[in-house]
């Protein structure tokens, strides 16, 4: 047990993961980093991206967006605005979101407000991450 890391992934709607894992990699704002058991305490914000964890050789992938991660005394807590395990991702919805975001981005490029651009970019990044995470498993 000593060399396992207690991982919890929490979103506003549910506890997505609660497990003992060997390694967990998350997309921090300052770069992707991996955490193993007995990692030094760390607090980092998260960006939109893919996180995955390894439990006894099984790798589970998740698409996460926004939030932060805290590691202390062998417990790792990921607080994300959204987190989905690869099998649970709604691919159709992500595809639609991607198309929508791409369209909006086109419109934004043809001269609209800055704020639209940032939101569209974020939406696109979320959709792409979901597709990437979902696609890898199939």
Residues binding other proteins (CB under 8 A): 10-15, 28-30, 33, 40-45, 66-68, 70, 72-73, 75, 77, 79, 81
Whose Cβ is closer to other proteins: residue 119's or residue 132's?
119
Whose Cβ is closer to other proteins: residue 79's or residue 132's?
79
Is 62 within 8 Å of 16 (Cβ atoms)?
yes
Whose Cβ is closer to other proteins: residue 79's or residue 125's?
79
Whose Cβ is closer to other proteins: residue 42's or residue 59's?
42
Angle, CA 105 vertex, CA 124 and CA 88 arms, to 5°: 20
Find the shortest distance in angstroms from Cβ 110 to other proteins: 26
DSSP type of residue 46: B
Distance of CA 66 to the CA centre of its chain: 8
Find the shortest distance in angstroms from Cβ 20 to other proteins: 17
d(CA 116, CA 109): 10
d(CA 18, CA 89): 18
Find the shortest distance in angstroms from Cβ 72 to other proteins: 5
């Amino acid at each position: 047990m000593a060399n396992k890391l207690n991982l919890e992934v929490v979103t506003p709607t549910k506890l997505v993961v609660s497990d003992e894992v060997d390694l967990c990699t998350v997309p921090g704002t300052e770069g992707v980093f991996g955490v193993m058991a007995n990692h030094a305490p760390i607090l980092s914000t998260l960006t939109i991206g893919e996180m995955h964890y390894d439990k006894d050789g099984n790798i589970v992938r998740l698409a996460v967006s926004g939030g932060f991660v805290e590691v202390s005394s062998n417990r790792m807590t990921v607080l994300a605005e959204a987190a989905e395990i690869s099998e649970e991702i709604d691919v159709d919805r992500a595809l639609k979101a991607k198309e929508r975001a791409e369209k909006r981005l086109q419109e934004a490029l043809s001269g609209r407000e800055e704020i639209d651009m940032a939101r569209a970019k974020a939406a696109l990044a979320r959709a792409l991450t979901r597709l990437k995470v979902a696609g890898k498993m199939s």
